[in-house]
Structure 1
Amino acid sequence: MGKTAGNCGGVRCTRNTGTPTHELIYETLVAHREEMRMESRKARLATRKLESTLLKISKVCFTFADRLANLQLRVGTLETDLGTAKGLAEEQLAQEE
């Protein structure tokens, strides 16, 4: 079994395992580094997925905007044609009277 808090090779123990403090710190740092690597990987993957989704959304929005602009042009043309037809009809009515 481990030693009680005492001296392990010149380094004071922090728990009753007999493991020197510097080894405990190193183990903690290694575990923390690995945890941070996993979190970083998860964050990169989530970022890639989000970028992909945003790209798809922007393509849909661009397509919608393009179609809307085309419809506005068509409406403008129809309004012009309607105005012309109305003017011609009014002229014809005026001539008939």
Structure 2
Amino acid sequence: MIVIQASRGERSYLAGIRLPALMKSDGAWRSGHTAARKALVPFAWAGIGIAVVSIPFQVIPVVYVCLLGLWLVLTILSLAVVSVVAVRAAKAGYEVFSPES
């Protein structure tokens, strides 16, 4: 949710991915967060899938803990991938939105 909101506005020192490449300009901020939002979608669906699958396995502690571990690995991987995608988009210097929007 934060990435979606950050991709729509100006730079923020409170919310969003605050990496140096994204903080250089409002255009870099929007470009990076828009790219991050697109890259985050598959990870979000995978996380939802793991959460749904884990519900019936709460009665089998070993499987449930393994699924929680998988979710944690997915979360860390998504943070790494989304950060790289955002920085590359910001450094590419393209403006996703027109100045009027």
The TM-score with structure 2 as length reference comes to 0.33
Q: 1 or 2 for the larger relative contact order (CA 8 Å, sep ≥6)?
A: 2
| Structure-1-length-normalised TM-score | 0.34
The structure whose Rg is larger is: 1
Larger relative helix fraction = 1
Whichever structure has more strand as a proportion of its residues is 1
